[in-house]
């Protein structure tokens, strides 16, 4: 397999790369759930900001016409996009075209070539099930629609390391690495980008961001809701493949990487890959898998399913900076609250009467945003006693941020790869979780509304127990 660490340095790569803006956007799966909830709202937002003024071609097999697609777009924007902006929506409607056809029928791609109407550098967005990626990519290549083009694919990038490598071979048979944009919407979130900038834009953090001062790192992604009608997909995926191998390992990379030489995309992504390669494959003894009571009743779920809806694990980063610092990750459905949070506990100062965990950094990544520092100050009164306080650097009151899909689609069409995942990072992440995929350890049951299986408490005993994020229980 070709080396994917850097982009191929050929003419095709230069055209697909960052110097040429796309002159058309094609999105497969135009009638699907992702398009309804995320893509159409993002497209309207892009129009409003002046970032979309090229043809937008939806492709699907639904027996629809263009009017039905426009109504679907309006409903998605009204329901999930904060409301229809009539001026922006009217412009979007003018740009929107639709092809109704089977992805396995060459005639569908003949129609697409016609609809592109001479566009020289289109972007193709595969908002479709992963099982169709190869079919569409190969058809784009055979029809000529992939020439000088970019492709955006949704996670999961494969089902394991071997399948990720097979998928990459198919992608690179049509597109250069610089023209492949692996979209992990988590990287487009303002909170995640804020975490990255907070680390490297503040000189006070670097001297203490190491094993000498940091006691432990916890990353929690809790959801108080279940699989929400996605039972069939989830039963083929599970928590490790769905969010740990991608979203949460990306967060580990941002927390643990060495400072990049610049914010140039390849510099940042080089450091991310280096960290992934310093993480040994996870030992099954460091994993707890759970499943919430009632999961088997979800539509699409097998009656005897052993798929995890909760996973907690411990890993280490085998580097000079991080040796001996435990990194704990947990993610689950039907937990107590909906919250994603990083909790970096600092080592105890040499004052014996201070409670453990007095000093920490707390990065709230969702659903609200906050970057906070836990400290102790003097308690009012005559005695030299301390009390806990939390200093906030950023809060969710900040406004004007782009939604993740708007940001990522805008960047991909401009050829900016900074917030997209490179193939070597994909493979390195799969190598980390490969030993814990499947039913390698038994499933532990837990009740909805709790913090998961009680067995997971033993995993965190060495660091004084889990830090449970605060939040509200939600059902969406």
Positions annotated as catalytic residues are 247
H or E element in which residue 388 lies? strand 386-395
Distance of CA 346 to the CA centre of its chain: 27
449: Cβ–Cβ under 8 A, 6 or more apart, which residues?
224, 334, 335, 336, 473
Side-by-side strand order, sheet with 123-126: 96-100, 56-60, 25-28, 123-126, 150-154, 180-183
146: Cβ–Cβ under 8 A, 6 or more apart, which residues?
124, 137, 140, 174, 175
Give me 453's structure tokens: 């299986």
The burial class, CB within 10 Å (0-12 / 13-18 / 19+), for 444 is: middle
3 state SS of 266? helix
Contact 292, 334 (CB under 8 A): yes
Contact 365, 189 (CB under 8 A): yes
Residue 56's nearest CA partner among 420, 403, 409 is 409
C-alpha distances in Å from residue 52, one per residue of 46, 71, 119: 5, 20, 15
């Amino acid at each position: 397999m070709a080396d994917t660490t850097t982009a191929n340095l050929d003419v095709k790569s230069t055209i697909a790369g960052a110097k040429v803006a796309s002159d058309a956007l094609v999105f497969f799966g135009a009638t699907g759930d992702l398009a309804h909830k995320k893509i159409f709202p993002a497209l309207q937002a892009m129009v409003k900001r002046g970032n979309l003024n090229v043809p937008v071609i939806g492709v699907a097999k639904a027996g629809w016409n263009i009017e039905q697609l426009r109504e679907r777009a309006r409903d998605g924007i009204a329901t999930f996009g904060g409301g229809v902006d009539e001026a922006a929506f009217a412009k979007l409607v003018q740009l929107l075209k639709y092809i109704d056809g089977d992805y396995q029928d060459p005639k569908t791609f003949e129609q697409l070539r016609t609809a592109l109407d001479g566009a020289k550098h289109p972007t193709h967005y595969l908002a479709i099930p992963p099982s169709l990626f190869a079919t569409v990519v190969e058809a784009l290549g055979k029809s000529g629609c992939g020439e000088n083009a970019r492709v955006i694919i949704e996670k999961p990038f494969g089902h394991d390391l071997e399948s990720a490598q097979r998928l990459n071979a198919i992608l690179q048979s049509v597109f250069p690495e610089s023209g492949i944009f692996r979209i992990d919407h988590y990287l487009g979130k303002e909170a995640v980008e804020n975490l990255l900038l907070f680390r490297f834009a503040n000189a006070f953090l670097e001297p203490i961001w190491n094993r000498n001062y940091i006691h432990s790192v916890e990353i929690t992604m809790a959801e108080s809701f279940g699989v929400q009608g996605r039972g069939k997909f989830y039963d083929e995926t599970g928590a490790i493949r769905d969010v740990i191998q991608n979203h949460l390992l990306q967060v580990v990379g941002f927390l643990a990487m060495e400072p990049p030489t610049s914010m140039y995309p390849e510099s940042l992504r080089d450091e991310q890959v280096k960290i992934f390669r310093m993480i040994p494959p996870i030992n099954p003894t460091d994993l707890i898998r759970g499943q919430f009571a009632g999961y088997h009743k979800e539509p699409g779920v097998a009656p005897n399913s052993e798929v995890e809806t909760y996973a907690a694990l411990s890993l280490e980063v085998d580097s000079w900076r991080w040796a001996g610092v435990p990194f704990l990750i947990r993610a689950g459905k039907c937990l107590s609250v909906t919250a994603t949070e990083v909790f970096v506990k600092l080592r105890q100062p040499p004052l014996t009467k201070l409670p453990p965990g007095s000093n920490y950094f707390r990065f709230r990544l969702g659903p609200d945003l906050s970057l906070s520092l836990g400290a102790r100050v003097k308690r009012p009164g005559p005695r030299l006693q301390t009390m806990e306080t939390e200093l906030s650097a950023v809060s969710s009151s900040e406004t004007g941020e782009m939604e993740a899909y708007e940001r990522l689609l805008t960047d991909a069409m401009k050829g900016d790869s900074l917030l997209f995942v490179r193939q070597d990072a994909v493979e390195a992440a799969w190598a980390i979780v490969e030993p814990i995929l499947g039913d390698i350890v038994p499933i532990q049951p837990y009740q909805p509304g709790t913090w998961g299986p009680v067995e997971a408490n033993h995993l965190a005993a060495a660091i004084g127990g889990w830090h449970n994020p605060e939040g509200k229980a939600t059902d969406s």
